[in-house]
Amino acid sequence: MSSEYSVLAEGLLKRYGDKPALDGLDLAVPKGSVFGLLGPNGAGKTTAVRILSTLIRLDGGRATVAGFDVRTEPRLVRQRIGLTGQNAAVDEILTARQNLVMFARLFHLSGPDARRRADELLERFSLTESADKQVKGFSGGMRRRLDLASSMILAPEVLFLDEPTTGLDPRGRIEVWEAVRELAGGGTTVLLTTHYLDEADKLSDRIAVIDKGHNVIEDTPAGLKRAIGGDRIEVLLGDPADLPEVAALLARISGDPNPWTDPREPRVHAAVTDRVRVLTEVANALQDGGFATEDIGLRRPTLDEVFLRLTGRPATDERASANDTEPEGVSV
């Protein structure tokens, strides 16, 4: 395996009956990065994580994690990874400290070493003040942080996070994001699966968009946005009747022959290259023409627009398939 990558996967295949969960998926995750695996429900994200973390066997292709083959060297892979699934794996009856000590002991740390490591992780994840409280009283964000801490007992080279903020409120999501950034800053490679576009945008160095078990595109968040065009000028009008005339005005000034209009708001926007010039000229032309303008500005495409353009459906599409509903507990 190239020393540049913590995870390499080529042509991953996985089927459940006659339904493909993965259909030739390729991944190359650079060391020390946060890599986002983005796709709608049923795209195959969880299947990919389960294969890479050696929980289930692949049907075809090959993959290496931390330099070891997931098919032939699963034990060596497990020694170098951490995994946080979609549901927290902590014991609600125990305290935060007791949970971490228990996990450390399961990893064969001695009593003193287990307690020392628990204290380090409690501090790292800002849980020291709640260390001796039962987990059942924790917020969703605190539980997730404790779950992340438990996956870091042995400071893994690679950490798999499968939908880590599903079901959390905004505060809980921010708490988890901060923990992920800290992990990556400490040198851990993070493979993050999510269908939350803002999450992928804020955390990931690179993003692979997958759908129906195969790659759609891979790039940086900024590169994905450039894939559907650059900056856009957007005008919100006070009178829908002005849309055709203002659309023609934007086409002339911006050079975009097909400005997009939305009569429901009413709004019109067009692609631009010379941002400042176009904004200035459009603002002056609107004023000279006496158009009632509610708002005008420049903006970049969002990942939501990228995703919809690439997959033809929103990232929050709930039409799950067999891809992410495979049987649990498959042995490796």
The pLDDT value given to residue 231: 83
- Averaged over successive runs of 10 residues, the pLDDT of the chain (332 residues) comes to 84 94 96 93 92 96 97 95 85 96 94 96 92 94 89 89 85 84 90 90 94 93 79 92 95 91 88 90 95 92 78 58 39 30
What pLDDT does 316 receive?
Answer: 60
Helix or strand holding residue 97 (H, E): helix 96-106
285: CB partners within 8 A, 6+ apart: 249, 253
Structural domains in the chain, sorted by start: 5-80+156-225+311-324 (3.40.50.300), 231-299 (3.30.70.100)
Beta strands in 31-79 (DSSP E): 34-38, 60-65, 68-69
Q: Which strand (E) or helix (H) includes residue 74?
A: helix 74-78
Closest C-alpha among 155, 4, 7, 3 to residue 69: 7
pTM of full prediction above 0.85: no
**pLDDT score for 155:** 80
Predicted local confidence at residue 303, as pLDDT: 83
Write down the pLDDT at residue 29. 97
pLDDT for residue 315: 64
Q: What is the pLDDT of residue 130?
A: 96
Terminal Cα-to-Cα distance of the chain (whole angstroms) = 22
